[in-house]
Structure 1
C-alpha cells in the first residue's frame, strides 16, 4: 500500500493560528493531527468546566476549523485531534453545528471513556491515557473529523496508521514504528528546528510544521512541506525523539516501543528515515493523569540594585519575619537570584531579584495580609526598594499526580458518525504482561573510549545537543553527540555522577541514566526536581524546558580533537 502522509498542525493549546491552513495548502497530506493536551492544559480545561459544564474543550480549535473545514473537505484530508479535552462529545457536537452552518458535509466521530473522575472524587480532572484503536474505528467508519479526549499524544498518529494499513492489535513492530513517528510529530515545530540546540544552522524564524510518510511496515520518513521554514535533519528528529522520555522502553496502551532499536538516517534534504523500531506488549495498566487544586500561592519579587545585595536581601527577610510568623503559611520559599553585575552599564544589569513564594490550602494565609506587609516596606526598607508588580491576594495552583488502572477497567468507546457506539478492547497481551513482565534490558555496551589527548575547558554544548522536558514532578534531559568520536567521549564522560556535579540542583535527587547507542545519546531522568508538577510552579523553570540548555552551558574538560 502507498505511504500514509500524516501531518501536524498543533503541538499545544495556543499554537500558531494559521498552521492548519498552511498544512492544507502546502502540499499533499492525508491526515492532519492536532495535539492540544498537556498536564497543565487539563487543569486549565478543568477550571473552565467548573465555570461552565458545557466547556472543557479547546475552543481555539473551532476557530481554526471554521477557516479551513471547507478546504479540508475539498482536498479529502481527515482531521484527528485531542482538542476534545474533558468534553470530546461536546466538541464533536460543536463541529457538527459549525459544519451545518458552513454547508460542508462532514462526518464527525469522537472517542470517549478516558474520564475517570467518578473514581477519583476531589480531582478536578482524572483521565486515562487511551491508545489509537478508538481513533482507527472512527476512521474506518468513514469519519472526516475525529475528536478525542486524553489519548496518548502518539495515538493521534497510530490510529490513522492502523486504519489505513489494516493493522490489528498485537502487530507490535508496526505499531511501535508509528508510535515513534507520532512522538516526533506531536510537538509540531520542535521536529523542524524549533527549540533546537543548534538552531543557528537553519532559518528557524518561522519553522514549518512536520509530517511523516508512514509505510506499511511501520517505518517512516519525517519531513515538511516544500518552501516552509526550519529544517529537518537527524539532529532535529533525535532531539524530539528524546523529549519527555525515560528508558529504552517507551510504554503506551497499544504497544511498548523500543527506542533503543530506532535507526535514523538522512534521506535527502529535509527528510529523515526512521526504521528498525521493535515493539513489545504494552503494560497491563493505563496511566491516569490526576489534576487537583493544591491550594493557594502568592509571590512577591523585590528588586535589589547596586551594592550590598546580600545585606539588602537579609534586611527584607528580617522585616517580613514577624508577618510570616503570625500566621505561617504551609510553605515559605526565598530565592535570591544574582542577575546583577559589578559596574553595570544599565540599572537592570545592576539588579538582583529576591523572590518570596508562599503556599497554603487557606487563601487567607497567603493573601492580602502578606501582600500588605510586603508593600508597607516601600518607604522603610533597603535603598532603592521597588517591586516589578504589586502582589495580589493569592491565586489557586494545581498539582499533578499519576495513578494506574487495569486496561480492562476503562470503557474505551468509539462513537461513530452514525451514532453507533463501538467498544474498543484492551491490547490482547496486556493481561499476560501482568504476570510475565519483560526482563530488564541489559545495559548496552559502551563504545571504545577516545585515546588520551590534550583537552580544553569548554561548554558541553560545543559537542553535544540536549533537549529537556517534564513528566509530572520529574524531568528528563536527553543529550546526544553529533559524531562517532564525540559519542565515544560523551558515553564515558557524562555519567549520572557527572550530571549531578554539573546540575547542583539534582545532587540530592535520584538521577537515572539511560544509554541509547543507536541515537548516540544518553537520557537522564531526574526524579522530583519539579515538585508537584508544572501547575504547582515550584521551580523557576517549572517545565524544565531550559534544563538541557543549562547543562550544555556547563564547562568540562573536552578533548581538543572534538573542538
Structure 2
C-alpha cells in the first residue's frame, strides 16, 4: 500500500499542518488542496494586479520551513497550490530549493487554463483535470508536483496510480482511490472537524489531518497520525463522503465512482476500511470553473433593540431606499431578540442589508448613507461597523467541454513537456432509482431530527448540497419515507420554491439532496446569511419531527 496524507483542505487552512504531517509519522506522499471555486476568483484578482501571481503563496511559505524535512524523510509532495500559475509556483519552489541547498526535482501540470478559449469576459476559466498528468510527473522522478485546477481527489488518485502501476482500464482501483481522496481532501473534516456529533469526538482542540493507506486494488484505510486530536470513525468518514456530491455516480475526468457501492467498516482505533468501490468510465465532458466579475457589493448591519422591532426595520428601509435608491438592496431581519431579556444583546435583533451594484461609487455611498442615519432614525440606532469601500463581486458558473478539447501537459523535472492523452472510453447517462425500503410506522415522539440523524452540507456554485445519514441502520427505512423532497421543503422554508434533487445511498444509510439555486449566483455573490450553506445541515437537524420511539 501507499500512505498518502493531507495537509490542507482550503486556502487558509492550518499553516503548521505541513510540518505536523511530516513529523507526526510515516508518509509516502503529502498532498495539499488549496483550491475552491471562490479561491479561483481570489487568485484571478491577484493576477490582475500582478501576472507573476495567481498561486497559493501560503504554500510557498510552508515549504520554506518544511521542504528540507520532506527531502530528509523521503516524502513526495503533490499539491494544486499552483492555482492559475502552476509554472510560476514550480519555478519559485526551485528557487527556494536552490537557496536552501537542496536537490529537489520539481514538475508541474498544465492544460486546465481555458481562459480566452470560448469564455469571453471571464476572469478565470479552468477545466477540472484528472490524475494522469500527476502520474507522468511522479513516474519521471518528481519530488514535488504542482498542478492547477485538478479535481481534489486526483491529488490522491495520481500518487496511488503511479505507485501501483494502474492504467486507465483499472476503473475499480481508480474509483477506490477517488473515494479515499474525496474523504481526505478537506483535511480535518475527516477526523472530527465540522462533525454533527462533535461532542462524542475526542479532543478537537488540535485535530490531526487524515491519511489514506491505499492498496493495489484501490481499497483503503482512512486514519491519522498516532496521538493527534480528533477521531476517525465510520461516521466521520460517512459525513465526508456526503460532502459536496450529487448522485450515487460521482463524475470525474478519469472515472465515474459509484458511491452507492462503498462499504465502510471499523478496523481498529482511528482506522476505517473503505472497500468495494466500483468504477465506471468517465463522462465525455469535463467541468470548467468559470468566474466573471459582476460589479460591487457592500454590507451593513443595524442593531435594533427592545420594542417595535418590525417598525424600526421598516423605518431604516424607507430611509436607505430614499438615500441611495432601492435597486440592488437585499434585506434580512434576524429576529435574535427575546422578550423581557436580561441582557441588552439578548433584547436585540439584527437588520442586515447588502447592496449589489455595477457602480463602485454607489457601493461606497451606500455604507456612508447608512452611517448618516445614526442620529436620524429609530431609537437606539447602532451599526456594527464603520463605512467602507465596496468589494468586487465574482460570479461562478460551471461549463462543460469535451474531454478531447483539453490539452493536458506534464512538464517533467528536466523540462520535457509530455502530453497527456484524454480518455477514449466513456459512459453514457444512467438513471439511479433504487427502490425505497419498506417501513412500518409505530409510536413516535416529537424531537429534534438531529437526535438520530447526522448531516453535512456545503456549496456547489449557486447550489447547496445537503447529505444526511442515520446512526442506526434500522432507522434508514424511516428516514427514506420521512425525508422526501416535499418534507424537506417544509422543514427548510427557505428552499420551498427551489428545484431539489434527492439521491438515496442505502449502503451509507444516507440521503443526499441538491438544492438548486439556494445560494443565488454562488458564494462570492450570495447575500444569504450562510453563503456557503455550511450550517444548512445543522439547521435541518434542529427541526422537530415525529421520530419512532424504537430508534430513541
Q: Is the shorter-chain TM-score for this pair beyond 0.5, marking a shared fold?
A: yes
Task: Check if 1:446 corresponds to 2:444.
Answer: no
Task: Check if 1:560 corresponds to 2:549.
Answer: yes
Counterpart for residue 334 of structure 1? 331
Contact 1:57 1:86 in 2 (8 A): yes
Contact 1:232 1:271 in 2 (8 A): yes
Task: Flag structure 2 segments of 5+ consecutive residues without an equivalent.
Answer: none
Shift of 1:206: 1.2
1:139-218 equivalences in 2 (<5 Å): 139-202=138-201, 203-218=203-218
1:520-547 deviations in Å (ceiling 9; x for gaps): 0000100000011101132111110000
Select the residue among 44, 57, 60 that pairs with 1:59: 57
Counterpart for residue 114 of structure 2? 116
Counterpart for residue 391 of structure 1? 387
Shift of 1:548: 0.3
Select the residue among 340, 345, 352 that pairs with 1:348: 345
Task: Check if 1:481 corresponds to 2:470.
Answer: yes
Counterpart for residue 358 of structure 1? 355
Greater Cα offset, 16-25 or 177-186: 16-25
Contact 1:249 1:256 in 2 (8 A): yes
Shift of 1:366: 2.7
| Separation of aligned partners in 2, 1:47 and 1:353 | 32
Contact 1:468 1:548 in 2 (8 A): yes
Greater Cα offset, 214-223 or 531-540: 531-540
Counterpart for residue 312 of structure 2? 312
Greater Cα offset, 352-361 or 189-198: 352-361
Task: Check if 1:492 corresponds to 2:481.
Answer: yes
| Separation of aligned partners in 2, 1:20 and 1:253 | 28
TM-score (normalizing by structure 1): 0.96
| Separation of aligned partners in 2, 1:67 and 1:324 | 50
Task: Check if 1:415 corresponds to 2:404.
Answer: no
Shift of 1:267: 0.9
Task: Check if 1:286 corresponds to 2:276.
Answer: no
| Separation of aligned partners in 2, 1:101 and 1:115 | 30
Counterpart for residue 126 of structure 1? 125
| Regions of 4+ moved over 4 Å | none
SS in structure 2 of the partner of residue 536 of structure 1: coil
Counterpart for residue 240 of structure 1? 240
Select the residue among 349, 363, 373 that pairs with 1:377: 373
Shift of 1:84: 0.3
Shift of 1:423: 0.5
Shift of 1:483: 1.1
1:52-87 deviations in Å (ceiling 9; x for gaps): 110000111111111111111111110000000000
Select the residue among 477, 500, 508 that pairs with 1:519: 508
1:293-329 deviations in Å (ceiling 9; x for gaps): 111112221110011101111111122232243xx53
Shift of 1:448: 2.7
Contact 2:131 2:158 in 1 (8 A): yes
SS in structure 1 of the partner of residue 116 of structure 2: helix
Counterpart for residue 69 of structure 1? 67
| Separation of aligned partners in 1, 2:37 and 2:216 | 32
Contact 1:210 1:223 in 2 (8 A): yes
SS in structure 1 of the partner of residue 373 of structure 2: helix
Contact 2:5 2:211 in 1 (8 A): yes
Task: Check if 1:46 corresponds to 2:28.
Answer: no
1:162-184 deviations in Å (ceiling 9; x for gaps): 10011111211111111000000
| Separation of aligned partners in 2, 1:211 and 1:375 | 50
Contact 1:446 1:517 in 2 (8 A): no
Select the residue among 452, 457, 463 that pairs with 1:463: 452
TM-score (normalizing by structure 2): 0.98
Tell me the matched-pair count: 550
Shift of 1:160: 0.4
| Separation of aligned partners in 2, 1:7 and 1:76 | 14
| Separation of aligned partners in 2, 1:361 and 1:562 | 54
Contact 1:261 1:276 in 2 (8 A): yes
Counterpart for residue 8 of structure 1? 6
| Separation of aligned partners in 1, 2:266 and 2:238 | 12
Greater Cα offset, 227-236 or 530-539: 530-539
SS in structure 1 of the partner of residue 384 of structure 2: coil
Counterpart for residue 397 of structure 2? 401
Counterpart for residue 98 of structure 1? 96
